[in-house]
Structure 1
Amino acid sequence: MSMSEIFEVLQKLDSELYYYIDEFGIYIYLLLFLIVFGKTGFVILSFLPGDSLLFASGAIAAVGELNLVLLFPLLFVATSLADSNNFLLGRVFKKIPADKNYLKRMISQSSIEKASDFLNEYEKVAITFSRFIPLMRTMIPFIAGFTDHSYINFVRYNVLGALIWTLIWLGTGFGLGNIPWVEENLLFTLALITVIMFIPSIYGFLAHFHKKNIAITKNSES
């Protein structure tokens, strides 16, 4: 299998999961683990399916083609370990000398300090819910490691976020998987669920920031 064919398989896995279950057999579980791990474990693999893959896996588990009892811990562990891996990569890049570190040449010291301040101030929300927003799900763990954020605090909120993310996407897929229309219109359902899931995540960020701004305004007035 050529590299282009491998990329095609990875990008279409969520919408053509039925086919690949027959193709890979029991090894489909290993493939799902590796894809979920790769998506947030390495910034350059952010193009891989994530939310949609969990939803499709849950929907297919609902009709008995996959085992939900095996899927849940497998994908929960995959996404938890992936973010820790991304965090540690950030730590590694931080230690590379500036003259050899392409990332350090691209990002100013003031930007790094602002990112560190952002994580310290919005730590719980940023780490827990960033995985629900594209790009942020891969950048927040990396930046946390790069800015020497507390690993213990990161792991605490990362595991909580991984649990919520896996429960929502896998559970929603499993709950809707027995509906014939969902099975026949999987791509449209994935797109619709994605939009719906973004709303509470974005609202949570905005509400948290708004509350902080009000507190800052009150302190400045007093």
Structure 2
Amino acid sequence: MIAFLTPLLYSLGPAALLLAMVIVFAETGLLVGFFLPGDSLLFTVGILVATGVIHLPLVLVAACLFGAAAAGDQVGYLLGRRFGPRVFNRNESRLFSRSHAQRAETFFAKHGSKAVILARFVPVVRTFTPVVAGVARMPRRTFTVFNLAGAALWAVGLLVAGYFLGGVPIVATHVELFAIGMVAVSLVPAAAAVVRHKIGARHEADGDSVSVEPLEVLR
């Protein structure tokens, strides 16, 4: 998707910031936004600011994207707090996956309040974690503090990384390739989680088979 978005961002010029804000907000604030390329988008916007395609001050772009990211998580939290478990009991569809929601629940249970920050860097999980925090009735003030910290580290951090790398000629002339590379890097945590889950499930299955054998012998 980022390969499609990059030429569009080029063509929009400064207005590309508005598109980026909508995407960042939707990915973190709407349950249907899990497929959006937040990491690579922020990195790409940073490069486009550095190369003058988006002719706006870096501080302004950073403030706007930070605001969109923080607002998105806050909306997700309010959805979880308002509608509770009904959010996770809805029917499976193309735009909603229970498995994604369950991954976020597991992630939140494992990391607690820190999950609000850490989830920002895990695709799909970052979409559902604010909702899980709302369902779990995490104190609003606590959530807001972690939300703001996470938005700063994620949105501003990736934007600034793209901005400084945008000054490197090879990066500036191959924006799409580096954006796709960011997608690949951002998928590593998710892939690692899947592998760990499969290994854990296999170990549990092996343990069950071992525990059953003595019973079979006694029979």
TM-score (normalizing by structure 2): 0.70
| 3-state SS of paired residue (1:178) | coil
Q: Identity of counterpart residues, as a percentage?
A: 32
Matching of residue 180 in structure 1 with residue 169 in structure 2: yes
Distance 1:187 1:15 in 2: 9
Contact 2:66–2:151 (CA<8 Å) still a contact in 1? yes
Distance 2:106 2:51 in 1: 47
Structure 1 stretches lacking a partner, 5+ long: 1-7, 96-100, 204-222
> Which of 4, 8, 17 matches 1:12?
4
Aligned residue in 1 for 2:68: 78
Letter of the structure 1 residue corresponding to residue 116 of structure 2:
I
Spell out structure 1 runs of 4+ moving beyond 3 A. Answer: 101-107, 115-121, 193-203
Task: Give the deviation of 1:149 after TM superposition.
Answer: 1.7
Letter of the structure 2 residue corresponding to residue 104 of structure 1:
N
RMSD: 3.3
Aligned residue in 2 for 1:34: 22
Measured against aligned partners, the alpha-carbon deviations of 1:44-87 in whole angstroms (never above 9, x if no partner) come to 12222211111111101112222212100000010001000001
- Cα pair distance change 1:171/1:116, threshold 3 Å: closer
| 3-state SS of paired residue (2:137) | coil
Contact 1:90–1:145 (CA<8 Å) still a contact in 2? yes
Aligned residue in 2 for 1:135: 124
Count residues in correspondence: 182
Task: Give the deviation of 1:157 after TM superposition.
Answer: 1.0
Letter of the structure 1 residue corresponding to residue 35 of structure 2:
F
Aligned residue in 2 for 1:215: none
Distance 1:105 1:18 in 2: 38
- Cα pair distance change 1:179/1:133, threshold 3 Å: same
Greater Cα shift, 120-129 or 30-39: 120-129
Contact 1:132–1:198 (CA<8 Å) still a contact in 2? no
TM-score (normalizing by structure 1): 0.69
Matching of residue 91 in structure 1 with residue 76 in structure 2: no
Structure 2 stretches lacking a partner, 5+ long: 93-100, 193-219
Pairwise mapping of residues 157-168 of structure 1 onto structure 2 (< 5 A)? 157-168=146-157
- Cα pair distance change 1:138/1:11, threshold 3 Å: farther
> Which of the two has higher C-alpha Rg?
2
> Which of 21, 33, 48 matches 1:45?
33
| 3-state SS of paired residue (1:70) | helix
